[in-house]
Every structure is written in structure tokens, then in C-alpha cells.
Amino acid sequence: MAYNEQLANRVRELIAERTTNVEERKMFGGLCFLVDDKICVAVKKDKMLARVAPEIYEAAIEEDGCTPMSKSGTNMTGYLYVDEAYLNTPKQLAHWVNLALDFNPRAKSSKK
């Protein structure tokens, strides 16, 4: 499973600044960061998945470089992809990782 290791390292550092309760798993065709047993961020080859609050989702997918995550043709509200080209600066990456971390305490658990 190929993913952008440099981007994963940058995400790992940002998450570590806010929490130690993180687990890394290979999922979604990349490396997924679960915070408090909940999907938070995933890094793929050329994009990052962020799980954001439903109330900001519609505005977020309108931002440059963002596309909704779809399953069987249905958009999964709260999950969006951000193209790697829009994650180059520390500020750009921190924006998306922090949105995902801010929503995480309210997110439903990923565990069955």
C-alpha cells in the first residue's frame, strides 16, 4: 500500500503536538491516523483524507483542492480529500489536520 511517507511524517508531527492517543493503520489505500479510536486523517499517495465536522463540510469541500470522499457513488458527509498540492506549506497542512482534530472529540467511534 503506497502512501506519501513525507506527508505522513508531517501529519504525525502535527497530531503529536495535540495528543498521544493515536494509532496508525493501513486503510483507505494509505496510512490512517486514528485518534481516540476514531478515524481522523489518512494519507494516500497524492492526497490526504480529513474527517471534519458536518456543519463545516459543505463549505470545506468548496475550498481549492478539496473533493468529497465517495462510497458507491454516495458522498460521505464529513470526509473529504485534499490534494497534496494544497498541503505544501505548514500552514496549509495544519489547517486541515487541526479541523480534523477539532472534530475528533465529537466524532463517532470507528470501532465496531
Residue spans of the domains in the chain: they are: 5-106
Does pTM surpass 0.85? yes
pLDDT in the model for residue 7? 97
Q: Whose CA is closest to 28, among 44, 50, 15, 10?
A: 44
pLDDT in the model for residue 109? 84
Handedness of CA 9, 60, 63, 49 (dihedral sign): positive
Q: Whose CA is closest to 32, among 15, 44, 20, 21?
A: 44
Span 36-68, pLDDT tens digits? 999 999 999 999 999 999 999 999 999 999 999
- From residue 84, how far is each of 34, 88, 89, 96, 111 by CA, in Å? 20, 7, 10, 12, 28
Q: What is the arithmetic mean of pLDDT over 1-15?
A: 94
Q: Which fold has domain 5-106?
A: Aspartate Aminotransferase, domain 1 (3.90.1150)
What percentage of residues in the chain have a pLDDT greater than 70? 96
